[in-house]
Amino acid sequence: MPTMIETSSLRFAYPADEGGQPVFALRGVDLKIEKGSFVVVLGHNGSGKSTLAKTFNAVLLPAGGKVYVEGMDTLDESLLLAIRQRVGMVFQNPDNQIVANVVEEDVAFAPENLGVPSEEIRQRVDNALKAVDMYEFVTHAPHLLSGGQKQRIAIAGVIAMEPDCIVLDEATAMLDPIGRQEVLSTIHRLNREKGITVILITHHMNEAEDADRVIVMDDGKVAMDGTPKEVFTQVDHLRAMGLTAPDTVDLLDRLRKDGLDVPLDALTVEECADAITRAVAGN
């Protein structure tokens, strides 16, 4: 599969306070993210996961190493707009990324910036709003919408650029369970139906269950990288990094230590129940 984003020995440091040492947030990250994949990046606060996300569309530039977006070097200033058009970003606070006070105007913001002709903007706005299931709100004022709806507007605003990849930087952190569900099902659908690469930065483990790949960041480095099953079954390793395994895995882990013959990699509730039933029946 072609590569969407590639980083090689990527390093990044935030400028230091007076007299202090610069703080390294990324210390050598090598990643290849495949086109069309759904990748979840986990890690505790300060692990470097948000910094990493911001290097993917040249909001932050590498202090060492490189980031390539579809082969384009993010350090090349002439490619800036092309890179940002390919990789859209959705941020944590829904209020602070909505530009206009009418939904359609907000979704139109990016295509307007790109100089898309008016008739085509209209089409893109309508299609984007339909893709996130918010078309009925086309002329609403965004500040009256719920958190989940605002984030879907923000996603629509990104889709209207027709990007190949969407990065969600803790975009579900401020939402209630319903809003979170709305956003998750929207991005899963976009990934499935439009083949858009999704990179979801989060610290909610359960959002990673259906991902193709889970990357765990710790101390500015990639600490774990694999399928959800491969990552979540390493219960002790996760705990050491301030993360918790899903309750399903936690339970199976304990039952194994109690001498029950269950597999560890039954992540979902149904899989877990099946595994336990089989083990108990086998006794």
Among 62, 179, 220, 228, binds another protein (CB under 8 A): 179
Binding mask 105-124 for another protein (x = CB under 8 A): x--xxxxxxxxxxx--xx--
Site membership for another protein, residue 79 (CB under 8 A): no
Stretch that binds another protein, among 30-38, 69-77, 92-100, 127-135 (CB under 8 A): 92-100
Nearest approach in angstroms of CB 13 to another protein is 17
Site membership for another protein, residue 213 (CB under 8 A): no
Among 72, 173, 227, 229, binds another protein (CB under 8 A): 173
Site membership for another protein, residue 53 (CB under 8 A): no
Site membership for another protein, residue 138 (CB under 8 A): no
Does residue 147 sit in helix, strand or coil? helix
Structure tokens at 74: 């993010």
Question: Which residues touch 231 (CB under 8 Å, ≥6 apart)?
Answer: 208, 214, 216, 224, 225, 238
Euclidean distance between CA atoms 250 and 236, whole angstroms: 10
Among 31, 155, 199, 205, binds another protein (CB under 8 A): 205
Distance of CA 113 to the CA centre of its chain: 24
Site membership for another protein, residue 223 (CB under 8 A): no
Site membership for another protein, residue 214 (CB under 8 A): no
Site membership for another protein, residue 243 (CB under 8 A): yes
Euclidean distance between CA atoms 246 and 249, whole angstroms: 5
Do the Cβ atoms of 53 and 60 come closer than 8 Å? no
Does residue 162 sit in helix, strand or coil? coil
Euclidean distance between CA atoms 25 and 36, whole angstroms: 27
Which DSSP string corresponds to 198-223? EEEE-S-GGGGTT-SEEEEEETTEEE
Do the Cβ atoms of 80 and 238 come closer than 8 Å? no
Nearest approach in angstroms of CB 142 to another protein is 8
* Segment 29 to 48, residues that bind another protein, using CB under 8 A: 44-46
Site membership for another protein, residue 280 (CB under 8 A): yes
Site membership for another protein, residue 63 (CB under 8 A): no
Does residue 274 sit in helix, strand or coil? helix
Within 10 Å of residue 78's Cβ, how many Cβ atoms? 7
If the CB atoms of residues 3 and 268 are measured against another protein, the closer one turns out to be 268
If the CB atoms of residues 76 and 176 are measured against another protein, the closer one turns out to be 176
Give how many residues touch another protein by CB under 8 A: 74
